[in-house]
Amino acid sequence: MNIMENKQGEVYTFVLEGNLDSTTAPELEERFSDITDDVKEIVFDFTGLEYISSAGLRTILLANETIGDDGVITVKGANPMIMDIFDTTGFSAMLNLI
């Protein structure tokens, strides 16, 4: 998996390509340590993401904990299979999906 990241003001963006699974999730989780208290939104650009496993979903939960109650998690560009997973697991209700 390729991970590109960018911080602009209060928004921290991760652009993911490949698969987010038990093999690759720890690498993404390590990068959450770079997120500072001034960040109010974490954006995951899933345009290039092909697959997400339960380990990937756990990583999104960790991002949600990292940003706190006042923050927002946005996912953009998720393919129909990933959107189905979000709907089935209830993640759609906690995420800003665009």
Condensed to tens digits (0 to 9), the pLDDT of residues 50-63 reads 999 999 999 999 99
Query: pTM of whole model > 0.85?
Result: yes
- Amino acid 17: pLDDT: 98
Burial of 65 (0-12, 13-18, 19+ CB in 10 A): exposed
- Spans of all domains in the chain: 2-97
The CATH class of the 2-97 domain is alpha beta
Supply the DSSP symbol for 2.
Answer: E
